[in-house]
Amino acid sequence: MRNGSKAPREPAFKVEGLTKVFGTGHSAVHALRGVDLDIPAGELVVLLGPSGSGKSTLLNILGGLDHATEGRVRFFKEELTAMNDAQLTRYRRRDVGFVFQFYNLMPSLTARENVELVTEIASDPLDPAEALALVGLTERLDHFPAQLSGGEQQRVAIARAVAKRPTVLFCDEPTGALDIRTGRSVLRVLQDVNTQTGATVVIITHAAATAEMADRVIDFADGRVREISVNEAKVSAEQIQW
């Protein structure tokens, strides 16, 4: 486990001069325009910023889902930006849990099977039912995504991400579609994963209040980091004021 005391931590990610350009010519979109930041291991980090500012793009690159145009990303001792596809696949399989903005469940698999899809190839996973219990889904294990509400689908997606006991957990707007109460309980799960397994957790959110539970808040705008603030007075998810 890479958790430790509150003492100075080794960075899980070290990002230097990261840029990402989609497309070419005059239709090119500069999603990231030179991002430098460190994400200490074991922290819960919240990424804030207006829509289109490049948050998802950053998360995708950190998660090994996309290639950077320029710049470097180090994950502990390894350099993600230098990895080939096979190495990135291994990295994703071994270390990364992802909660996507659009749930991304397999429509033809039940809730439990969607979780199994990940635990199947993980080395020391939770029991899928246990992972689903963690997000409060004990009743609906054998329902298909189409039979679940948006919030329930999102919770399956979170169970799927935490079930593998990832080293890093990325969540792209995990509460965007949820009501306050459910949103809170989802955040609570993420916080528990962070504290209990020591996983580094990065959450993108529009709800600035979420920042109250973070160790560190990264404010994003226009493809750049605008400000990074360290939160000295972390609160638990239940105490967040919406």
**Sign of the torsion angle spanned by Cα atoms 20, 161, 113, 127:** positive
d(CA 48, CA 10): 23
Give the one entry of Mg ion, ligand ADP, another protein, none that residue 31 binds, where binding means its C-beta sits below a cut-off of 5 to 8 angstroms depending on kind.
Answer: ligand ADP
- Which tokens go with 107? 């429509």
Instruction: State which residue, 66 or 113, has the beta carbon closest to ligand ADP.
Output: 66
Q: Which residues of 74-110 are buried (b: 16+ CB within 10 A; e: fewer)?
A: bbeeeebbebeeeebeebeeebbbbbbbebebeeeeb
Give the one entry of another protein, ligand ADP, Mg ion, none that residue 108 binds, where binding means its C-beta sits below a cut-off of 5 to 8 angstroms depending on kind.
Answer: another protein
- For β-strands 200-204 and 168-172, DSSP reports them as parallel
- Does residue 167 come out as left (phi exceeding 0), alpha (psi in the -120 to 50 range) or beta? alpha
Which x/- pattern over 35-64 shows residues binding Mg ion (rule: CB under 5 A)? ---------------------x--------
Give the one entry of Mg ion, another protein, ligand ADP, none that residue 145 binds, where binding means its C-beta sits below a cut-off of 5 to 8 angstroms depending on kind.
Answer: another protein
Q: Give backbone dihedrals phi and psi of 139, rounded to 5 degrees, phi first.
A: -85, -25
98: contact with another protein by CB under 8 A: yes
Residues 17 to 56 in contact with ligand ADP, rule: CB under 6 A: 22-23, 29, 31, 49, 51-56
Instruction: State which residue, 33 or 92, has the beta carbon closest to another protein.
Output: 92
Binding site for another protein (CB under 8 A): 60, 63, 65-67, 85-86, 89-94, 96, 98, 100, 102-109, 113-114, 116-118, 120-121, 145-146, 150, 153
